[in-house]
Amino acid sequence: MSVSTTPAPAVALFLVANFGSIMGMRIAYVIVIALFLCAAILRLKLKESIQNTETPNLKKVLSSYPQALTEGISVWKKVPRSTIYLLISSLLFRFASTMTMPLLLVYAFYVMQIGGSPNLAIPPEQDPVLQLAREKWGYVNIVLFISMIFLSIPTGKIIDKMGRKKPLILSGIFSIPAVILFVYGNYVTLFLSLILWGASQLLGYSAFQALFADLVPQSQRGKVIGSMNFFTYLLMAAGGILGGVLYDYVSPRTPFLLMLALIVPSIILIIYGIKEPKPEERED
């Protein structure tokens, strides 16, 4: 989140409210493509800082994959044990989040019914109830983005004063009422729920990055980040599938309740498994 992204929900709301869901999204995607092309053209002006760069070789990349995978697993033997607990805690939280994040809008529209009771007999793009729900969802996202911008500065100060571990714990704690307010709330509590969720994300991401840098030696960070991303994306894919299955075949609330159950061990791992290094013990 940054100041540059703040107008995005307002623009999306304007397009959907004035042109409908389908045409509004088509216009939005055209705008996105145009902005991506502008960004790509601007990046052509950047100068490469690495001298004597090697030409990419697909065959070489594929042949080195098994070795890279082995090194990505063995690198965890070379880092502090706290880093492993940090990884497991992060994987639990990411898995839980991925189960629910794609379902937020669906739950708000069809279960919470923020626009009213949808008429399933007509196409979604023709239902005025769903159109109202889209507009209301746009207002929620505007508030979410603005709140995250304002919370970003105090978040940094909190991490500087409290250290890295406590904000990481607070991140997990904030997410619990956020989920409860969302699952059992209404349109009004939806605003508070997503603001709490935004605060949780800000604290968690910032504290995680700072603690990771403190724990992992600079010489190992590349391999550790690559390995961490590998396991994270595997679990995120599994979480997305499981969330959809639970939503459809058990109940819409089940993925969110399971998320609550996974947040608790994630917090416990941080409290008892991670030893935050003192300032003089931090890696450069």
Which pLDDT value is given to residue 3? 52
Output the tens digit of pLDDT for each of the chain's 284 residues: 555 566 788 888 899 889 888 899 999 999 999 999 999 999 988 876 666 666 667 777 777 777 777 877 888 888 889 999 999 999 999 999 999 999 999 999 999 999 999 998 898 888 999 999 999 999 998 888 888 888 888 888 888 888 889 999 999 999 999 999 999 999 999 999 999 999 999 999 989 988 988 888 888 888 889 889 999 999 999 999 999 999 999 999 999 999 999 999 999 999 999 998 876 666 66
- Class of the 78-281 domain? mainly alpha
Which pLDDT value is given to residue 137? 93
Rounded distance, CA 42 to CA 38, Å? 6
- SS3 track for the chain: CCHHHCHHHHHHHHHHHHHCHHHHHHHHHHHHHHHHHHHHHHHCCCCCCCCCCCCCCHHHHHHCHHHHHHHHHHHHHCCCHHHHHHHHHHHHHHHHHHHHHHHHHHHHHHCCCCCCCCCCCCCHHHCHHHHHHHHHHHHHHHHHHHHHHHHHHHHHHHHHHHCCHHHHHHHHHHHHHHHHHHHHCCHHHHHHHHHHHHHHHHHHHHHHHHHHHHHCCHHHHHHHHHHHHHHHHHHHHHHHHHHHHHHHHCCCCHHHHHHHHHHHHHHHHHHHHCCCCCHHHCCC
Backbone angles phi and psi of 56, in degrees to 5: -60, 135
Which pLDDT value is given to residue 41? 94
Which pLDDT value is given to residue 200? 92
Which pLDDT value is given to residue 114? 95
Which pLDDT value is given to residue 219? 81
